[in-house]
Structure 1
């Protein structure tokens, strides 16, 4: 389609102006390629994107199921004390995650800066 410019530099060293120039060029090339595609090509591209999306969705679901099974297998070997400790740890983690960062009680102060 388009001849790609050789990119021998690391993007982390490009300055804002270079980045904006690169992004503008990429956007214009992208818009041009989309404007030149036929309805059939557009539909093929969209169908391929839908297929990739559903494959990724399936992969993620499979991974989550495998991870749940692995955790259950590990926890199945725990003693009652270990299970109780994990339940308490999970409860504490949920409570911490629910704290609002704007809440004064959840604000962390340096010892010297404490009011």
Structure 2
């Protein structure tokens, strides 16, 4: 019975769309985060004079606002994912649940 449900869910077009869309979207966001994080790390490792350069007449270096950007970017990218997940992915998941539940309901015998 469980294998039958699993096969029906895997065959559901909503499930296939969810897996494909969510996977592609997640990898896109993951690559964006890696580029920002590794870019920041690479700047720290390979261009210390750039990161240590002062901004204006103050004591703050360029590394501080760039580091702050990395943190804000992480929060923003999380918010972007959650927003899309709540709007699109949750609706697909609900449709998959409904289809699976409808498939598992017992059929009433005709009297």
Q: What range describes the TM-score normalised by the shorter chain of this pair?
A: 0.3 to 0.5
Higher RCO, Cα 8 Å, sep 6+? 2
Which structure would you say has the larger Rg? 1
TM-score, normalised via structure 1 length: 0.31
Q: Which has the higher helix share?
A: 2
